[in-house]
Amino acid sequence: MRYSRSFIPTLREDPAEARKNPSHRLLLRGGYVRQIGAGIYEFLPLGLRVLKKVEGIVRAEMDRAGALEVMMPALVPADLFKETGRWDLFGSTLFRLKDQKRNDYHLGPTHEEVITDMVRATVRSYRQLPINLYQIQWKYRDEARPRAGLLRCREFLMKDAYSFDVDEAGALASYRTMREAYIRIFKRVGLDFRIVAADSGAMGGSTSAEFQILAETGEDAIVVCTQCDYAANVEAATAKPVEAAAVTVEASTQRPKEVATPGKKTIEEVAEFLGVDATKTVKAGAFLYGKAPGDAGQLVLVFVRGDRRINEVALARETGAQWLRPAEDEELTARGVVAGYIGPQGLPAGVEKVLVDRELTSAVDTIVGANKAGFHVKHMSMPLAVNALGERASWADLRAVGKGDLCPSCGGGLEEYKGIEGGHIFVLGTHYTAKMGAKFLDDKSQEKHIVMGCYGIGVSRLVAAAIEQRYDESGIRWPMAIAPYHVIITALQNDGAVMETAVKLYEELTALGVEVLLDDRDERPGVKFKDADLLGVPLRLTVGKKTLDQGKVELKARTEKDVSLVDVSAAVELVASRVKAELA
């Protein structure tokens, strides 16, 4: 492609709406995408080339793994989601609409119900199983706060695959096949990633793993053992448990004492005011939860060590909650709880449930809220407080695991990293097939529910994630496999031998299957170099009068600082072999 005939509307300055995430900023500046609404993007020619390359790798590996491609509708009748309860569970995240007959529909955020309906209508016998069906399709979720460009938007391209097996063993075999396919996909795309244990969330099911792309700008926290292969999303991570023998009802050596802490509500404020470390305090969290979408909320109070975070996923598991959210101050007041000063002693009857993190089983001299505005209690024994609450209170693993905790597998130290979820794989079991009546006859003519698996990759998200992992102050640094072009040829002058040589190199490389962008614009060299760096094409060949007089051209990799002078006669073979090697 000649740059002069292309459509690459680059920007010199960062757009005001894209100051935070590098991928958001650079995709807009590089003319890869254009935002037309909150969380809604157009893919321009360069962006579409990258997207199609990621899609091609995903499709190739899914086909190689034996999955069969289908295409399901994006417009879905509400009845299918109502069968499984997700019409209510998804809540405001669903884009809902009505047809002219006032029937309910929604735009598909995911397609477990649709694919299950397809299979239950066609599969009758165990002889038709196993089968794995996938699609690459746009998905729609009404994110409350779409942000970070392609990393979290309301319309996104996703590959979703679904396996159907006769039993759990077969489902696990399908899961392992998809796991290996995903490893090949992420390696081919050129990403540094980790496979981590994960929570299944709204998808349901049991066995679950995420493919996390390591990036300092990632929204997800993951923990990795330094001594074994244990890795998990912080929401699903566990640490070496506190031994039951450590849970003792023990008092502090000093009597509990109320102290005034006027206006000090956060752990940081209380610790600074009293001159103690946060580890000597106890953090309280208040949540409302329900076990079905329409349930009236029950209140649960959660206590963890002051320097810890509450793991809301673990809390949902512990309570059996289908929905869970932090309680508002007025909701606490209505139940007799004083927001900002919550403690485990003297709790009103409006508190139905209290959960205390097991790490506090040895916390016998700590600082907690006094359940009285402007006061905390020093020298509180958490084991004694739990004992005094009787059946309302119990111990559980509720803290978000992080650096400094011990690995649950080997006892080694855990480290914490930032990541971007690029893929998620599940064994769903009969979570959907039982609700929707998807059955088959086994070899004994007995009717059984089909066992499912689910495997998703955010195709458009991988475009952004690759940038979050590979960029510098000048722009993008694409992996060769998904770069819009393999090489950019920069002609420093637009006439005579320089342009003739540039065109000749362009034509010869193109004939060898190398994808080339020829910068033949009538622009200053500085502008061309800046655009080349911004666009992130992996290799740059520069043709200029000074080097051409020596029979040379410049070769530079986007990821390297050094520039090499190579003979014009050897440039094509050298570049083509380098591209081939990086794509292998």
Whether residue 68 is contained in a domain is answered as yes
- Residue 334 and residue 519: Cα distance in Å, rounded? 68
Q: Which residue has the tokens 């975070």?
A: 309
Q: What is the pTM of this model?
A: 0.82
Sort residue 44 into left (φ over 0), alpha (ψ -120 to 50) or beta: beta
Confidence (pLDDT) at 238: 81
Q: Are residues 81 and 193 in the same domain?
A: yes
CATH (domain of 201): 3.30.930.10
The pair of three-digit structure tokens given for residue 224, joined into one six-digit string: 């990795």
Confidence (pLDDT) at 232: 87
Q: Are residues 420 and 558 in the same domain?
A: no
Whether residue 479 is contained in a domain is answered as no
Q: What angle do CA 263, 274, 398 make, to 5 degrees?
A: 80
Angle between helix 459-469 and 45-64 (nearest 10): 110
- Contact between 186 and 424 (Cβ < 8 Å): no
Residue 532's nearest CA partner among 481, 482, 499, 491 is 491
Whether residue 375 is contained in a domain is answered as yes
- Sign of the Cα torsion 312, 314, 315, 317 reads positive
Whether residue 534 is contained in a domain is answered as yes
How many distinct structural domains can be found in the chain? 3
Confidence (pLDDT) at 193: 94
Q: Are residues 268 and 391 in the same domain?
A: yes
Whether residue 475 is contained in a domain is answered as no
Q: Strand 447-449 vs strand 131-140: parallel, antiparallel, or unpaired?
A: unpaired
Q: Strand 323-326 vs strand 282-290: parallel, antiparallel, or unpaired?
A: antiparallel
Q: Are residues 77 and 192 in the same domain?
A: yes
H or E stretch covering 440 = strand 439-441
pLDDT in tens, 9-39: 999 998 888 878 999 999 999 999 999 999 9
Answer with the one of 346, 367, 396 that is the final residue of a domain: 396
- Contact between 398 and 407 (Cβ < 8 Å): no
Whether residue 480 is contained in a domain is answered as no
Please provide residue 271's backbone torsions phi and psi, each rounded to the nearest 5 degrees.
Answer: -60, -45
Q: Which residue has the tokens 């759990």?
A: 168
Residue 248 carries which DSSP code? -
Confidence (pLDDT) at 206: 59
Confidence (pLDDT) at 248: 55
Confidence (pLDDT) at 19: 73
Q: Are residues 129 and 230 in the same domain?
A: yes
Collapsed DSSP state (helix, strand, coil) of residue 100: coil
| Residue ranges, the chain, pLDDT below 50 | 202-204, 244-247
Range of the domain at 351: 244-396
- Other residues' Cβ atoms within 10 Å of the Cβ of residue 258: 11
CATH (domain of 575): 3.40.50.800
- Residue 102 and residue 76: Cα distance in Å, rounded? 14
Q: Are residues 251 and 233 in the same domain?
A: no
Q: Are residues 106 and 11 in the same domain?
A: yes
- Contact between 161 and 444 (Cβ < 8 Å): no
Q: Reduce the secondary structure of 382-402 to three states and give it as a string.
A: HHHHHHHHHHHEEEECCECCC
Confidence (pLDDT) at 242: 55
Q: Are residues 104 and 182 in the same domain?
A: yes
Confidence (pLDDT) at 199: 66
Strand partners, 266: none
Q: Are residues 86 and 35 in the same domain?
A: yes
Q: Are residues 122 and 148 in the same domain?
A: yes
- Contact between 311 and 398 (Cβ < 8 Å): yes
Answer with the one of 343, 366, 396 that is the final residue of a domain: 396
Q: Are residues 515 and 442 in the same domain?
A: no
Whether residue 522 is contained in a domain is answered as yes
Q: Reduce the secondary structure of 10-30 to three states and give it as a string.
A: CCCCCCCCCCCCHHHHHHHHC
Please provide residue 70's backbone torsions phi and psi, each rounded to the nearest 5 degrees.
Answer: -130, 175
- Sign of the Cα torsion 69, 73, 76, 79 reads negative
Q: Are residues 382 and 438 in the same domain?
A: no
- Residue 364 and residue 509: Cα distance in Å, rounded? 73
The pair of three-digit structure tokens given for residue 456, joined into one six-digit string: 């998703």
- Contact between 487 and 538 (Cβ < 8 Å): yes
Whether residue 155 is contained in a domain is answered as yes
The pair of three-digit structure tokens given for residue 27, joined into one six-digit string: 């995709």
Confidence (pLDDT) at 239: 83
- Residue 99 and residue 85: Cα distance in Å, rounded? 21
Confidence (pLDDT) at 197: 83
